[in-house]
Amino acid sequence: MSLLPILIAPDPRLKVQALTVDKIDEGLNRLIDDMFETMYQAPGIGLAAPQVGVAKRLVVIDIAKKDEDRQPMALLNPEILWFSDETSDYEEGCLSVPEHYAEVTRPARVRVRYMDRQGEIREIEAEGLLSTVLQHEIDHLTGKLFVDHLSTLKRGMILRKLEKAKKQAVRM
């Protein structure tokens, strides 16, 4: 397994429409393992393939707390089948938007259909943190970041800071 570099916004590769995964082969399994390792090392609770420069509809999630056993979930071609009218607010962050957090309002509950890494089609209904993470990660597959849910002013402020930090990093 190996760690993958995580793209930092603003980056055009984070804005792509990811493509459907149509076969589960050795390469895809290696990518899933590498994405888990990269997410755990970061550390983060979710990572979408476009964040490591792969335009595929694939996300990995593990919302287990530090003192709990790992609960890795790999979701291929996830889609939201239903979401509640009721909303909830969550302070979100993103490995591609380091050191910035903001409250995002989303549907409180969702039902998601996906394929697991064995090729089985599954459906889950989620609420709370898992619901938020699922929606956040699935957003990445259509080129959307949590900052796209904020006001233009807030989004612009965060992206400008990230851009500035990137330029400084290149000079070092």
Nearest residue to Ni ion, scored by beta-carbon proximity: 94
Cβ 136 to Ni ion, closest distance in Å? Answer: 6
Residue 35's Cβ-side half-sphere holds a number of Cα atoms within 13 Å equal to 29
CA separation for the pair 60, 28 (Å, rounded): 12
Size of the site for Ni ion (CB under 5 A): 1
Report, in Å, the least distance between residue 145 CB and Ni ion: 7
**Which of 52, 94 has the CB closer to Ni ion?**
94
Active site residue 68: no
Binding to Ni ion by CB under 5 A, coded x per residue (else -) over 85-114, reads: ---------x--------------------
Nearer to Ni ion (CB atom), residue 94 or residue 104: 94
Say which residues have a Cβ less than 8 Å from residue 138's Cβ, sequence separation at least 6: 48, 59, 78, 79, 80, 112
Beta bridge partners of 55: none
Rounded to a whole number of angstroms, the minimum distance from the CB of residue 146 to Ni ion is 6
Which C-beta is closer to Ni ion: that of 60 or that of 94?
Answer: 94
Q: Which long-range contacts (CB under 8 A, 24 or more apart) does 38-47 make?
A: 38/3, 38/4, 38/6, 39/95, 40/70, 41/3, 42/6, 42/95, 44/95, 45/129, 45/133, 46/133, 46/136, 46/137, 47/6, 47/95, 47/137
What minimum distance in Å lies between the beta carbon of 149 and Ni ion? 12
Compare residues 41 and 121 and give the one whose CB is closer to Ni ion.
Answer: 41
Catalytic positions: 137
Q: Which residues bind Ni ion (CB under 5 A)?
A: 94
